[in-house]
A and B are shown apart, each in its own frame.
Chain A
Amino acid sequence: MNLQIEADGATTYLVPVGRIDFDAAPAFQQAVERVLSGAGQTPPTTVIIDGAKLEYVSSAGLRAVLLLARAAQRAHIAFALCALQAPVREVFNLSGFSQIMAIHSDRETARSQSQPPRT
C-alpha cells in the first residue's frame, strides 16, 4: 500500500494505492494521523479518502478507517470517502460502515457535502 496525499486549500485528498490489509493497516493509519495532525502546519478542515486506486480492504483496514474517522471527529475535521471501487464499496456495505460514514460517488460531491463537525 502506498498513500498519495494531495492538498487543495483546506481540503486534503488521500489516495491509497493497492491493498489495506493486516500488514498495511498500521502504516496507513499512521500516515493519515500525520495528515490529521497537520504535520506541523495548520491541519486541513476536510479530509477525503479517494478510493479510486484502492483494490482491497480487510477487516484490519476497516478498523483503521474507523479509528481515523473517530480521530477526525475529535479534531473537528470533516471526514469522508469517495470513488470506492465496487469490491471495496461492498465491504463497506456489508460491515455496516456505510451507515456510519459519509461515502460519496466522487471528489466534488464529497467536498461540497462535507462540513466539519461542530464543537
Chain B
Amino acid sequence: MVAVMPGPIQRAAAAITAPVHALADLLLVRRGPYARAFDNLILGLIIFSVASIGLESIPGLPDWAAQALHIAEIVVVAVFTFEYLLRIVAAPNKLAFIFSYQGLIDLLAIAPFYLVGVDARWLRALRLLRLLRLLKLQTHILESVVEQRTRELAEKNAALEEAQAQLKAELEVARSLQLAILPSSFPARPGCEAAARMIPATTMGGDFYDYIELPDGQIGLVIADVSGHGVPAAFFMAVARTNLRELAAHHPDPGECLARTNDALCAQNPLDLFVTVFYCVLDPQTGRLRYANGGHNPPYVRRAAGGVETLSGAGGLVLGAMVGAKFPTHSVQLLAGDRLVLYTDGVTEAFNPAEQLYGAQRLVDEVHVHGGGTPAALVERICQSVTDFADTAPQSDDITLAVLTWGAP
C-alpha cells in the first residue's frame, strides 16, 4: 500500500471535519448520556413547535407573543438544521440518508422556514410534517430502549455462560480427582496378577475399586457402587473408600470389616445414600479367598479346569442403610489359573438403543469364552463387548470391572 501525504487543503478540511464527526458520534451514534439528552431536547422542541402552530392561529394574539413565537421558531429551526446536518455527517452513506424516508421528513420539517419568501401560508401546513418526525423519534427511542435491553441480556447471558463454564471445569477437576484415587497397579505378588477399569457415566458416578495391602501380607480387593449420581455420590464414594481402607487394616475378617464400615457410614450419611460393596481378602500363599457381600452383584470365578461359578454366599444389606447390619463371611479356594471377575451393575444393566439389558448371561459368556488370557485382556474384552452392545444408547451408570488371577507362588 502506498501512503499518500495529505496536502494543505486536505489537512485544513480534516481540521474542520474531525470535531464535527466527533460531535456527531457523541450525539447520534454512541448510546450514552449525551445522546439521550440530545434525543430528549429534539423531542421537546418538536412538541413545542407543533404546539406553537396552534398558538399562532389564535386570533388577536398580542404582538409581543407573536414576536416571541417567531424568535422561538428561528431557534427551533436552527437546532433542527444543525441536527439534520449532523445526521448527514454521521450517515455512512450520505445520499442514501438524504433520500431516505427519515431524511426527507427531516428536510421537509425545516425547508418551509428557508422558503418562507415564496409562500408562507401554505408551507405552514407542511410544518405539521413535524408530527411525523415525532412518530419517527418515538420509534427511534423505542428502538434504543430495546437495543439497550438486548445488550443487558447479552451481558447477563455471557456472565451465566462464564459461571457455567467455571462450574463445568470444577466438575471436571472433581472427576479427574475421583479417577485419580483409583489404584493404578496391583500389589506385586508372585503368581498374582490383576487389572481393573472404571468407565465413568456422563454424570459423575460413584463406582470404585481398590486394592488394599494388609499387614499380614494378604491382599484386600474391593468393588463398590454408590447409589445415585453426581457430586453427592462422588463424595460418599470417597468417604466409603477411606473408611473401608482404614478399617480393613484392623479387621482381617471381611464380614467384620464391612459391619464396622457400615456403622461408620451410617454415622456420616446426611443424604441417606448407600453403597453396595463386595470385599474379599486373598491369601497369596494359599489361594484362599475370604469374602463378604454388602448388597453387591456377586462376582464370578472362572475355573481354569472349566466352568464359571457365582460367589453367591448369602450377603448382607447395602452399606449406609441401617446401623448394626451384619455381613456373613464366606470362603472359596482358588486353584492355579482361576480368575476372579468383579463388576458393578453398570455392566449388566447397560441398555442398548432397543432398551434391552446387557444382562448377566452375556457377561458370563464373555468370561467363559475369553477369560483364558491376561486379566487386562479380559477387562478390555468385556468393556468392548458392553460398549458395542450399548451402541448409541447413552451410558447412564459407571461401568467397572476388576479381574484377578491367582497362581501358586
Contact = CB atoms under 8 A, between A and B. Distances in A.
B228 A99 contact: no
Contact of A60 (B228, B316, B321, B325): B228
Contact of B317 (A58, A67, A100): A100
A21 interface: yes
Contacts of A58: 349, 397
A64 to B, nearest CB: 10
Contacts of B385: none
B137 interface: no
Chief secondary structure at chain A's binding surface:
helix
A95 B273 CA distance: 13
Contact of B295 (A21, A67, A96): A96
B295 A100 contact: no
Interface in A73-119: 94-97, 99-100
Contacts of B178: none
B316 A99 contact: yes
Contacts of B345: 59
A59 B321 CA distance: 12
Nearest to B229: A22
B321 A100 contact: yes
Interface residues of A, number: 16
A22 B317 contact: no
Contacts of A67: 272
A70 B321 CA distance: 10
Interface residues of B, number: 25
B318 A96 contact: yes
Contacts of A60: 227-229
Contacts of B325: 96
A95 B295 CA distance: 4
Contact of B228 (A63, A96, A100): A63
Contact of A21 (B225, B273, B274, B396): B396
> Nearest 9 A-B pairs (CB), nearest first?
A96-B317, A95-B295, A59-B227, A96-B295, A63-B227, A60-B228, A95-B318, A96-B316, A67-B272
22 contacts: A59-B226, A59-B228, A59-B274, A59-B345, A60-B229, A62-B227, A62-B274, A63-B228, A66-B272, A70-B272, A94-B296, A94-B298, A94-B315, A95-B317, A95-B318, A96-B295, A96-B318, A96-B321, A97-B317, A97-B318, A99-B316, A100-B321
